Chains A and B, each alone.
Chain A
Amino acid sequence: MIKFPAKFEFLDEIREFVGGIAEAGGFSPKDIYSIQLAADEAASNIIEHAYAGIPDGEVEIACGLRDDALVITMHDHGIPFDPSKVKEPNLTADLSERQIGGLGIYLMRKLMDEVVYEQGREAGNLLTLVKRRG
């Protein structure tokens, strides 16, 4: 488990951290890109929303291989997050109607096999992302 400051400047390091483990786990370059993008979107949401207006927040990120899957967990102590309150983006709306909110979560769900949000565990939000090999 690594603690990262909840700042956008650390997204590079977060992508490298999960990408390195995915590479060691034999994931394809396409899957590694998907895993890095999903982790980036997840961490960006935590920084932007869970820690909105809260300085010096931290995100605890664990990443490991379990059987044929890569499992990433992100734990924060920010504002409780309820993903059911996030509207699904309308991907067929025309340009003027197109909303970008919710796109990060939508991409995470498309890119990963499992995306699970839990609230209240050890006070805070716990997000688990799973990508299976192949």
Chain B
Amino acid sequence: MNVSILTICYIIGSVTFILGLKLLSNPATARKGNLIAAGGMFIAILGTIFLYEENGSKLGNYAWIFGGLLIGSVIGTLAARKVKMTAMPEMVSLFNGMGGACAALISLVEFNHISKELAVNNSSEYVNSIQPTVLIIVLGLIIGAVSFAGSMIAWGKLNGKVKDFSFTGQNILNLILLAVALGAGVYLVIDPINSYLIYVILALALVYGVLFVMPIGGADMPVVISLLNSFTGVAAAFGGFLYDNKVMLTGGILVGAAGTLLTILMCKAMNRSLLNVLVGSFGGSNSSAATGGKDQGHYKEISLSDAATIMSYANKVLIVPGYGLAVAQAQHSCHELEKILNEKGVEVKYAIHPVAGRMPGHMNVLLAEADVSYEKLLEMEQANDEFKTTDVVLILGANDVVNPAAKNDTASPIYGMPILEVELAKNIIVNKRSMKPGYAGIENDLFFQPKTSMLFGDAKKVLQDLLSEIKNV
């Protein structure tokens, strides 16, 4: 009876996960989707605590279980409530790492049970019967540990605590590490009595996770986090195999598949293959070849008052936010600018490149935080239609996503990447901190075109100065 109710709980859980992800795909229903999935999770968790039975006996240690749930809930809620919008991506990475660690710990404890049994019963029938279980445990452990270690490094990189680090032969070393870990895993499956190997595998997987993410540049972290997210999904699914638990299985595989697709979509938006992100450090290898090329000529600067004037008398202004806006946390100043220009009868919209910022959709979240209305955010295709009729494009800390080389220069490393075609507009004002190249490490011809002018400085400060200038116009 109890087991049947638990099965129903799990079915509800699985359905809400699918439904939740589906509703998350539409801005109008997204929040509901998240709450539905959370509700399903709650039912599945409660059902497990009170109804789960194995060989006729119920779960014990309620004090430990509720203690853990309470501690986790309090810390999780506080951390999630307190975090700044700009720090959202690293928060996701951190939580993802927790899930990976959880999967790895489950594997460790389950293996510990098995090796205790083995110490008593070493018959070949018993060994044969547990081999599939050991395989699942080993795979869950490797994937969970890689996901945990990788997510911690990604988290550290995004908040600036961990610097890029690579050495020659690192890729080969990584492959060797992974091969040794898998080899040890196979050996353990064949001969499960060598229980110490589980710790060797754990250590190798952790080192692999660290070295795997270390050389990848900070701007590629979204792709890495998305990939690690799907890894954790797969690790959770292995937990489902282990306990023959359908809700873990469906939830895990769902996230594994969706996360992998999302990762590929992100890579596509940057015109790179996943392999290239993971193996090649893009900026390092290509920059020298690309920058050494032709003489770019001169760029011109624009004064704040001039910039204020042409924007105040424009009919339509499009703002292109980028990484620089996120770093300077200038989203509120940006919205101020929009409001003050609106009062002067200027139409203001935002052109959002799919990979602007630190994560796809990051700019939307940031601008939403500053109360910018959803209708004013144009996706790339819409924006490209509107640039022709735009008087002023204001680029705030974006670079590669507006580089015309992606369209014109077949030799450019970013050739073929879809970009915002800002050069169709009448005037272009570029706010950057310096002339330093963007993440791809290449010069941007746009900055040297006659209709482009540069406005140097931190995005937030420049916007605030611009605001006071516009008030004076």
**A and B are partners in one complex rather than unrelated chains:** no
